[in-house]
Amino acid sequence: MTLRVRLAITFAFVAIATAAAVAIATPVVVGRGFAQLEATGELPGRGQGAGPMAGMHAAQVQSDTVMTLVLVAIGAAVVATILGFVAAGILTRPLGRLAHAAGRIANGDLTARSGLAHRADELGALGRTFDGMADELQQAERTRRRLFQDVAHELKTPLAVIDATGSAMLDGVYPHDDRHIATIRDQARLMSRIVDDLRTVSLAESGDLALNPSRVDVAKLLADVADAFRARAEAVGVQVAVGVEMPITLQADADRLRQALGALVDNALRVAPPGSMIELGARPGSASGVELTIRDHGPGIAPEDLPHLFDRFYQADAARDRSSGTSGLGLAIVRAIARAHGGTVSAENAEGGGARFRILMPAA
């Protein structure tokens, strides 16, 4: 049974019950009223010597009055029932529109909306909630499609290199030497890294990334990250410095946090000019928490790139390829790890040149 029929039946039941109560009460009320009129002499009756005709006339008037009131009650019940069906249709029509929109979404049309968002009542609130859900689904579908396209694009290049190199070696164009075998190995490792990084991002975004939190000394953590990159930095004439204002501790997964910071330092090394410095720092955040910073003195970030830096496979430098062994997911992993800890990450152009990345972590 539909909601409209249920509402209509409810209205009809209320109307019929009201009419029945009126019909039952009417004879008693009218009879009592006529009896009082007879007793006071305002209506000729049998007790006042007016004769049997007067009594019969009074009884007829009483009967006609009762019948009239009963008919009026029945008519009111019929009218109320009809109005109830109409009102039920008006009330359930928006729900029908919402059900139709939900059916379209279930069939894959994610552009469907309720059309109720303009209303100021509870149905409008329901419609706005539904439309918000539809927006999220549509955005998730766009993200899913873009992810598949990006993954296919990123895996296409190493696969093409492996195929071309292997075919050339089999055809005798390339000799079977270590250099060409190393090319195949490196491209295979790149594909493996893309898959591993995608898995890390996916687990973090779904809330399933396993964390092993412990009390972390931030100064030591930053020093470890700097030491891991110092040899590579010195090879290109870049210094890596650590500055922590005071003893700070975090409750975090040290390995995952080291992975995130390492990705930021790796990114900074790619843009830092020779003779410059990469600065790692930490301080209490403006709100409750700890702010970790990585600052380089490179060319900075183009304004149009800032909103997309942490998207999967996004490259601010379109000319950069994956030949260096990067998966294109480093900054996406940084954001995923920060969020998995309940923190945030942001990027900005620093005063005086270069870029600054901030990871805001909850306090221990």
76 touches 15 (CB < 8 A): yes
**How many alpha carbons lie under 13 Å from residue 350 in its C-beta half-sphere?**
16
Q: Could you tell me if 296 and 306 are in contact, meaning their C-beta atoms sit under 8 angstroms apart?
A: no
Pairing of strands 277-284, 290-295: antiparallel
CA 6 to chain centre: 34
Domain positions in the chain are: 3-106, 122-205, 214-361
Write down the pLDDT at residue 200: 81
The two domains 122-205 and 214-361 share their CATH topology (first three levels equal) = no
- Rounded distance between C-alpha atoms, residue 13 and residue 11, angstroms: 5
Q: Which residue has the tokens 């004879």?
A: 27
> Hunting for tokens 């009026």 — which residue is that?
72
CATH superfamily, region 214-361:
Histidine kinase-like ATPase, C-terminal domain (3.30.565.10)
The span from the CA of 103 to the CA of 95, in Å, is 12
Residue 72 has a pLDDT of 72
pTM higher than 0.85, yes or no?
Answer: no
| CATH number belonging to domain 122-205 | 1.10.287.130
3-state secondary structure of 194: helix
Strand partners, 291: 283, 360
Phi, psi of 350 (to 5 degrees): -80, 150
Residue 354 contacts residue 297 (beta carbons within 8 Å): yes
The dihedral sign for the CA sequence 302, 304, 306, 308: negative
Q: Which residues of the chain have pLDDT under 70?
A: 1-8, 23, 25-62, 64-66, 286-288, 313-328, 364
pLDDT at 33: 62
Q: Coil, helix or strand for 314?
A: coil
pLDDT of residue 56: 62
pLDDT at 322: 46
CA dist 295 and 358 (Å) reads 9
Strands (E), 274-340: 277-284, 290-295
Gap between the Cα atoms of 211 and 258, Å rounded: 13
